[in-house]
Amino acid sequence: MAGFSVNADYFLFDDGSAQLISPPYIGEGGLFFQDNALKILESYFSVPDNIPHFKIGAILIDPGHGGKDPGAVGEYTLNGKKYRCVEKDVVLDCSTKIYRKLKEKYPDKAIMMTRTGDTYPSLEDRVEMANNISLKQDEAIIYVSVHANSSFSKTAKGYEVWYLSQDYRRNLVDESDIETKEILPILNNMMEEEFTMESILIAKFILDGLTEQVGDLSPSRGLKEENWFVVRNARMPSVLIELGFVSNEEEGRLLNSEDYLQKCADGIYNGVVKFIDYFEHSRGFTSIE
């Protein structure tokens, strides 16, 4: 896609780049482009339709909490014995299952986790890791944070997927990379819109995947918006998943079950795969260089 305005001397493309042109103008009979503008458009859109413009080069899976931070903790009784359901353990187990499946599916992509054991990377550490992952020019990255929920209400249960509020704005474009400073706010807004759209798509595909795998075992609480630290500071499409409520006895038992966690992992994996397939066959979205 190329954006332009009458009498403006540049094109804005959906990969975040800009090209100076002789301004289009309105004359007798309609809108007119001058020769160099047409040549730039022809050159830019000369990529065959069957060749993806971008691909997902990296996926960062972020199991929440860890180490000194257990996250939410719940208790349940099974066969007369009390057990604890600890968020940091549940989400690490689920994330590891997702990681292994993605590594097998995509040997050419960088599949990473913010922690692989009972350690405590801070929120800042997690975001810094995400934002510093090296990508090629035609690659993009997605961030998937995995958590479990808790509530004062013991009846609250279900899974949900969060993405960054659509009205939240970040500084996504590096000013040093832009020659024409006047277009910086425009490029930043374009990139934010792209990331928001892709985050919503990832969230929807993951929610659908969970619903398909979990079935009637736990209810879907739907898609939700919030300015969580990791999703608002990660300069990429990102989502935060709540697998269920450790504070609910029934759901606590499920979340401590290997079979149920595998269903959750399979659902999230299927959602990520569906998004990647969509992304890589639709020429992708704005990338950050």
Q: Could you read off the pLDDT of 61-81 as tens digits, one per residue?
A: 999 999 999 999 999 998 999
| 148 within 8 A of 69, measured Cβ to Cβ | no
Q: Tell me the domains of the chain and their CATH numbers.
A: 2-44 (no CATH), 55-280 (3.40.630.40)
For the full predicted model, state whether its pTM sits above 0.85.
no
The SS3 call for residue 39 is helix
Strand partners, 48: none
pLDDT tens over the chain, length 289 residues: 555 566 666 555 555 566 676 666 676 666 666 666 666 666 655 555 555 468 999 999 999 999 999 999 999 998 999 999 999 999 999 999 999 999 999 999 999 999 999 999 999 999 999 999 999 988 999 999 999 999 999 999 999 999 987 665 555 555 555 455 555 555 555 566 677 888 999 999 999 999 999 999 999 999 998 877 777 788 889 999 999 999 999 999 999 999 999 999 999 999 999 999 999 987 555 443 4
Per 3-state DSSP, the chain is made up of helix, strand and coil in percentages (nearest 5) of 40, 25, 35
